[in-house]
Amino acid sequence: MEKEFTGLIDQHKGIIYKVCHLYCHESEDRKDLFQEIVIQLWKAYPNFRNESKLSTWIYKIALNTALTSLRKEGKNKPNKSISEADFEIPAMESIENEHVNILYQAIQQLTEIEKAIIMLYLDEKNYDEITDIVGTSKTNVGVKLNRIKQKLGKIIKTN
């Protein structure tokens, strides 16, 4: 089981890195969060029942661990600006770097749950997957996503 789990982490570490970069701006904080996510995945792994995609399950645990960690530590310090290398957005590869950086800076101004939803959306997760990861209704995801898009538009226009 240990080898299987290690392979799983190696195969899906990109998901964990994205979450760590989204919620931590210091290198040491990212390493700590990465380690905590892996620990939580290890604890939950024996109970994984293949009822959802493996990537959906990893996202859910990673995001819950990140949000729990932020709440525990009471850290609401501003995160660093995200770079394209930290957070790949497949649908936006053709946009100029300047526009991508503006989007990343706007994302940093969102609430923690808004960041999670937009990250999943930009990572091309469908509403059902986002619903499963975030733990809300499909309708609520759609409403929140529309509000987040409007909020990002306003942030970008004012900057």
**Which DSSP letter does residue 94 get?**
T
Q: What is the pLDDT of residue 37?
A: 94
How is domain 83-159 classified at the CATH fold level?
Answer: Arc Repressor Mutant, subunit A (1.10.10)
Q: What is the pLDDT of residue 25?
A: 78
Which listed CATH number (3.20.20.150, 2.160.10.10, 1.10.1740.10, 3.30.2350.10) goes with 1-80? 1.10.1740.10
pTM of the model: 0.68
Q: What is the pLDDT of residue 94?
A: 44
Give the whole-angstrom CA distance, residue 108 versus residue 130: 19
Q: What is the pLDDT of residue 85?
A: 53
Question: Which parts of the chain sit beneath pLDDT 50?
Answer: 75-76, 80, 87, 89-96
- What is the sign of the dihedral through the CA atoms of 2, 56, 115 and 134? negative
Q: What is the pLDDT of residue 93?
A: 44
Per-residue b/e over 118-130, b at no fewer than 16 CB within 10 Å? bbbbbbebebebb
Q: What is the pLDDT of residue 118?
A: 92
Q: Which residue has the tokens 């987040």?
A: 148
The answer to whether 25 and 80 have CB atoms below 8 angstroms apart is yes
Q: What is the pLDDT of residue 81?
A: 53
Q: What is the pLDDT of residue 101?
A: 76
Task: Show me where the domains of the chain are located.
Answer: 1-80, 83-159
